[in-house]
Amino acid sequence: MNRPTIAAPTTLVEAIRYFSDPDVSLAFLAGLRWPEGVTCPRCNSDKNSFLSTRRIWKCKGCGKQFSVKLGTIFEDSPIGLDKWLPAIWLLVNAKNGISSYELHRALGVTQKTAWFMLHRIRLAMQTKTFTKRFKGEIEVDETYIGGPARFMHKDKKARVTTSTGPAGKAAVIGLLERSRPRR
């Protein structure tokens, strides 16, 4: 299986076109999952053969077959990588998140399917199975959320401290990796 030489997509249209080819999607995900080369998830053997007709590997160590989906959020899902990978792209590139209705319209899946996909992706993001290190120029900003109590009900205002500064407010920090413009 050859790895694609095309750069990763930067727009939704590019992501949909890029991941529409099953071989490209498979190579992309295999490259992310096994950067040092494909290894069996059961016995960690690097001796395996690729069955191109089924897009799976067969381990020569334990004799078991495995796919790139095994042990991931994509496992036991009939949804193809051509839908999963653009869905992940959409979610991580949306500043304010994305709804299941928006995903269903963008990818042409049912709203129920989009809801299922978003829940699996969000679960993976919470468990920190997606790891990415920032590189290059990084912007950081912070703020405190919880403004003045002047529009609150009298009873609630009495319970909330009205002091200035961060007291009684939630701290929010944002990070942004600046990418260089394409030439």
Longest pairwise C-alpha distance within the chain: 72
Residues 6+ away with beta carbon under 8 Å from 132: none
**Residue 8 has what pLDDT?**
74
Which stretches in the chain have pLDDT values below 50?
3-5
pLDDT of residue 97: 84
176 DSSP β-pair partners: 139
CB 71 within 8 A of CB 41: yes
The candidate with the shortest Cα–Cα distance to 146, out of 176, 174, 170, is 170
